[in-house]
């Protein structure tokens, strides 16, 4: 299926222009070489999306191993050592291998189309940053087969569990994270360079669609924090292999320092995974409400504010490590304050729908589910911000419920919404309506059945990352496991939808959705391989 995406160039659009990217078609290269060496933003976008879908299923299988073991109390299927590797790999793969590359893929496809650019600013770099990913994750997955097993210290890899007490494969884990980090950084540089320099004549910053805005801010966050992650894992590497003691108390280091550094990266990372989602939803809701986005300016400013504040809240992940009272209060206050700009975004989406003309196509369904369920995740986030209460919530399933609500029906649903929204542009066909609806409803039911009971098991006292639990948590866990399998299975429908959509289906016109306004809808569906080689005239009529 991969090889039908995107369509071959159509003659009327591959007009040769000076300085254009390498023309395929002279001598037709082997398809493998074509995909290996492509510098086309649409092809690379597709590669990213296919890669992230693959990783999503691999990470999902790991999650199902975890849920299968947790179906009943007692150890049935896996040993605790392997269980810990599964939870760790699930987290790492989903964060770095599924969600982030999916957003980069969407950016590759849509940012040039939305700003009227012919391609990304640095096409060859673009190819390189993609192909780093399979290397990184191939390496990461291979650690599972190494003696002593793969990483087993959680995706947050707290020292000294991840240094002095780590399996021998940890050096490979660090290497793979380095490679994935370089890929993200290069991708971010490319996106910034594209947005700042390749906008269509007449399009000012303030005319850019919100998806472009949120990605610009996300890219800056990536530039700011990925090097910090690289620094942290380099220190780990040195602690493990060169006898330094950054995080080792025996040599005068401090394990808590690791957590400060990690979360200085980690909290902005959380926003890296949600800001582009805000952008997608801010495109979809106005389209299907047939009404301009309410408070565009506020949205842009709120995004910037959230990004800035994200550097000031990191220690709310560390409320129980024994911070001094003043630090505890500081981080509680800043964390509570970040709820304000986030709330503004939700109010704005609701106000966009108010007095609109609303229809419920699949992208809108996913966007609406995003708004509701992301807000649920936001509420539990607000509860977690209350530091004294966090002494009870911390490291329980309540936290697991919270961040999964933000990341699965949050970030992931936004990605799915984006996919349904732009599939007509990518393939020229509408996705199969019935199947899409089935996919949506089964996903919603599965997600809530999986993660809602986790709130209760957490409050009742179940710690996270345990392969076996006390009997009073059995009901919640059984429900969550059933939900997880339902959710996992229903994602196969998504694959089916994509395959059908690539192969055929109802033809989509250039402007596939009645209320859609941005530049991408001015090029034919499916989008030809080369678009906007002559920059479009941009008329800021809407903004």
DSSP 179-204: HHHHHHHHHHHHHHHHHHH-PPTT--
Nearest to 362, CA basis, from 465, 439, 464, 256: 439
- For another protein, the closer of residues 32 and 242 by Cβ is 242
The minimum distance between CB 214 and another protein, in angstroms, equals 14
- For another protein, the closer of residues 10 and 197 by Cβ is 197
Report the alpha-carbon distance of residue 166 to residue 175 in Å, rounded: 15
Report the alpha-carbon distance of residue 242 to residue 72 in Å, rounded: 43
| Strand, helix or coil for residue 429 | strand
Tokens standing for residue 433:
């309506």
Burial of 470 (0-12, 13-18, 19+ CB in 10 A): exposed
- For another protein, the closer of residues 175 and 346 by Cβ is 346
CB 529 within 8 A of CB 13: yes
- For another protein, the closer of residues 6 and 67 by Cβ is 67
Report the alpha-carbon distance of residue 223 to residue 527 in Å, rounded: 30
The minimum distance between CB 338 and another protein, in angstroms, equals 10
Question: Catalytic residue numbers?
Answer: 90, 119, 155, 183-184, 267, 269, 271, 282, 316-317, 342, 345, 464
The minimum distance between CB 44 and another protein, in angstroms, equals 17
Report the alpha-carbon distance of residue 250 to residue 261 in Å, rounded: 19
470: Cβ contacts below 8 Å, ≥ 6 apart? 73, 462
Q: Is cis: bond before 160, omega within 30 of 0?
A: yes
**C-alpha distances out from residue 97 to 128, 389, 404, 505, Å:** 16, 33, 16, 30
Report the alpha-carbon distance of residue 459 to residue 512 in Å, rounded: 46
Torsion sign over Cα 409, 314, 140, 249: negative
Supply φ then ψ for residue 15, to 5 degrees: -65, 130
- For another protein, the closer of residues 461 and 524 by Cβ is 461
- For another protein, the closer of residues 382 and 496 by Cβ is 382
Torsion, Cα of 237, 242, 248, 251 (10° steps): -160
The minimum distance between CB 50 and another protein, in angstroms, equals 27
- For another protein, the closer of residues 6 and 453 by Cβ is 453
CB 279 within 8 A of CB 213: yes
CB 15 within 8 A of CB 34: no
- For another protein, the closer of residues 295 and 524 by Cβ is 295
- For another protein, the closer of residues 56 and 393 by Cβ is 393
**String of b and e for 313-341 (b: at least 16 CB within 10 Å)?**
bbbbbbbeeebeeeebebbbebbeebeeb
Strands (E), 77-225: none
The minimum distance between CB 385 and another protein, in angstroms, equals 9
The minimum distance between CB 148 and another protein, in angstroms, equals 5
Report the alpha-carbon distance of residue 322 to residue 420 in Å, rounded: 46
Tokens 């599964």 locate to 86
**String of b and e for 181-202 (b: at least 16 CB within 10 Å)?**
bbbbbbbbbbbbebbeebbbee
Max CA distance (Å), the chain: 71
Nearest to 415, CA basis, from 273, 526, 209: 273
- For another protein, the closer of residues 40 and 163 by Cβ is 163
Tokens standing for residue 466:
């345990």
């Amino acid at each position: 299926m991969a090889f039908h995406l995107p369509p071959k160039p159509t003659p009327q659009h591959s007009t040769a222009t000076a300085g254009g990217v390498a023309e395929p078609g002279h001598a037709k290269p082997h398809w493998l070489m074509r995909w290996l060496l492509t510098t086309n933003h649409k092809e690379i976008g597709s590669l990213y999306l296919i890669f992230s879908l693959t990783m999503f299923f691999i990470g999902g299988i790991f999650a199902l191993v975890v849920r299968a073991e947790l179906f009943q109390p007692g150890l049935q299927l896996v040993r605790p050592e392997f269980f810990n590797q599964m939870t760790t790999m699930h987290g790492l793969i989903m964060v770095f291998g599924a969600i982030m590359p999916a957003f980069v893929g969407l950016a590759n496809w849509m940012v040039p189309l939305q700003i009227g650019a012919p391609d990304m600013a640095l096409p060859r770099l673009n190819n390189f940053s993609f192909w780093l990913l399979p290397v990184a994750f191939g390496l990461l997955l291979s650690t599972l087969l190494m003696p002593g097993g793969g990483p087993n210290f959680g995706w947050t890899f707290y020292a000294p569990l991840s240094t002095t007490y780590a399996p021998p494969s940890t050096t490979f884990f660090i290497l793979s994270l380095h490679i994935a980090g370089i890929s993200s950084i290069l991708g971010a540089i490319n996106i910034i360079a594209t947005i700042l320099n390749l906008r269509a004549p007449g399009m000012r910053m303030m005319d850019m669609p919100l998806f472009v805005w949120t990605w610009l801010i996300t890219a800056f966050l990536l530039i700011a924090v990925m090097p910090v992650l690289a620094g942290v894992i380099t220190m780990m590497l040195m602690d493990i292999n060169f006898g330094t003691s950054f995080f080792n108390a025996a040599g005068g280091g401090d394990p808590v320092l690791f957590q400060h550094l990690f979360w200085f990266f980690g909290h902005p990372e959380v926003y890296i995974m949600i800001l582009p989602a805000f952008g997608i939803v801010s495109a979809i809701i106005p389209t299907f409400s047939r009404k301009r986005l309410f408070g565009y300016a506020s949205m842009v400013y709120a995004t910037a504010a959230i990004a800035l504040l994200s550097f000031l809240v990191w220690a709310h992940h560390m409320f129980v490590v024994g911070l001094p009272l003043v630090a505890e209060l500081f981080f509680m206050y800043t964390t509570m304050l970040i709820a304000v700009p986030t709330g503004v975004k939700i109010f704005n989406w609701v106000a966009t729908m108010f007095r609109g003309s609303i229809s419920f196509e699949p992208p809108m369904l996913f966007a609406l589910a995003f708004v509701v369920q992301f807000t649920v995740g936001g509420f539990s986030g607000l509860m977690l911000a209350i530091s004294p209460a966090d002494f009870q919530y911390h490291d329980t399933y309540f936290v697991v419920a919270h961040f999964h609500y933000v990341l699965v029906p949050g970030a992931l649903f936004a990605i799915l919404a984006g996919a349904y929204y732009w599939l007509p542009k990518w393939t020229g066909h509408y996705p199969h309506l019935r199947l899409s609806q089935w996919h949506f409803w089964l996903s919603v039911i599965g997600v809530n059945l999986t993660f809602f009971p986790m709130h209760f098991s957490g409050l009742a006292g179940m710690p996270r990352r345990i392969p076996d639990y006390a009997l009073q948590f059995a009901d919640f866990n059984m429900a969550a496991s059933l939900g997880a399998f339902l959710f996992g299975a229903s994602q196969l429908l998504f694959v089916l939808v994509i395959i059908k959509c690539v192969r055929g289906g109802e033809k989509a016109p250039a402007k596939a959705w009645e209320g859609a306004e941005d530049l991408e809808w001015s090029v034919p569906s499916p989008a030809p391989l080369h678009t906007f080689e002559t920059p479009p005239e941009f008329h800021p009529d809407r903004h």
